[in-house]
Structure 1
Amino acid sequence: MKLQSRNALRTLLTLLEKRQEKDLQILELLREVTADAQKIIAYAPDRWEVKVDPEILGWNRSDKEIYFPKMMGQKLEFIFPEGWEDGPFGIMEPIGSKILDFHKADLILVPALGYDERGYRLGRGAGFYDRTLYDVNPNKLIGLTYEELFPAMFEKEDHDIRVGCVITEKKIYQIV
């Protein structure tokens, strides 16, 4: 069932009109949500995800530290980038020595193909975010998606994590 949902969302994403414009609208709302956060975990987007750009968000200021995920075994570590390299799934990963314990992050952007009405995420199926962030308060977790794709329909599984906020180009949805 999840495979069908993933394929349906990928198809809808390829058909989405004005995606760059919608990404910018999402980033405007995200800027509001992250204004007071100092330590933020973001992600390097693939073609299925909202394009997070720290410069557009104004996160390149000295009062913010932005970390990005790197696969380490079956979990993720969050690194302050000193450089970038290709990761195992074709997603850019940070190179650096400064690692953030994700429990100490103010906010964490959680990539996904979609989110349901309760904030549960539909990832790509490898479970890296679910295994890593299983005990994080959902209020620290933010999902980004498009209004036409929210909420996504899929069957939640016990290991799926949920976000406390979903941001689309139209609205900030507080879930928990």
Structure 2
Amino acid sequence: MNELGFIRKNLRSKRRSLTLFEQKQAQLNVLHHLSTLAIFHTSKKIGLYLHAFGEVHTELLIKLCFQKNKKVYLPMICSMSQRLVWVKISRNQYLNRRFSHHPLGMKEPMATRGEHVSKIDLLLIPLLACDQYGTRIGMGGGYYDRTLASATHKPYRLGVAHQFQFIEHTLKRQSWDQPLDALLTPQHIYYFKR
């Protein structure tokens, strides 16, 4: 197994082993950090994710967006382009859990079409690992990288992760990798130069 494979396996396992209490605390701390960010307050259209694989939970983040009258968008995989499109959801859709199950294991909004990522102001992105330069390792499908590479207007890219997912050594950045602008963890907010 190469180094990247080892990092992925190790961090996936660590995420899965978090207790419900640890996840709850992580979400509360990330929620607090998010509510202090100027970019959050000035953004009207916010893209988030539905947690499925041990990522920082997003339920309270999504509810905060609705409370602040933000337009909430969730990702849906477009099978033709293998990119993500962003589906605007209502508070009722969210509360009534009107989602479909994707074969990869996550839930998606039920819709026939979505918006291009260029329409989003602030994008909260899940990840497996991130280094001090904002280089992000995702789950391996490349969906976020492909989607962001095609954006004419780049939304502010805010990674969301547990503290152990911020790693000290530099990750090798490939030409197609789309770096983050900042990273939120339960303990810190990290800013990167794009």
Give runs of aligned pairs for residues 44-63 of structure 1, distance below 5 A.
Answer: 44-54=50-60, 57-61=63-67, 63=69
Instruction: State the number of aligned residues.
Output: 176
Q: How far did residue 55 of structure 1 move?
A: 6.0
CA contact (8 A) 2:135 2:177 kept: yes
Q: How far did residue 44 of structure 1 move?
A: 0.9
Q: 1:117 maps to what in 2?
A: 132
**Among 103, 112, 117, the residue aligned to 1:88:** 103
AA of the residue aligned to 1:5: I
AA of the residue aligned to 1:108: L
Which has a greater percent of helix?
2
CA contact (8 A) 1:139 1:163 kept: no
**Among 14, 20, 25, the residue aligned to 2:24:** 20
Equivalent position SS for 2:54: coil
Q: How far did residue 135 of structure 1 move?
A: 5.0
AA of the residue aligned to 2:32: E
Q: How far did residue 152 of structure 1 move?
A: 5.9
**Among 166, 174, 190, the residue aligned to 1:150:** 166
**Among 4, 7, 12, the residue aligned to 1:10:** 12
Moved more, 121-130 or 73-82: 73-82
Q: 1:105 maps to what in 2?
A: 120
**Cα distance, 1:97–1:32 mapped onto 2, change above 3 Å:** farther
Give runs of aligned pairs for residues 122-137 of structure 1, distance below 5 A.
Answer: 122-134=137-149, 136=151
> Structure 1 regions of 5+ residues with no counterpart?
none
CA contact (8 A) 1:9 1:149 kept: yes
Equivalent position SS for 2:105: coil
CA contact (8 A) 1:2 1:155 kept: no
**Cα distance, 1:91–1:105 mapped onto 2, change above 3 Å:** same
Give the TM-score normalised by the residue count of structure 1: 0.87
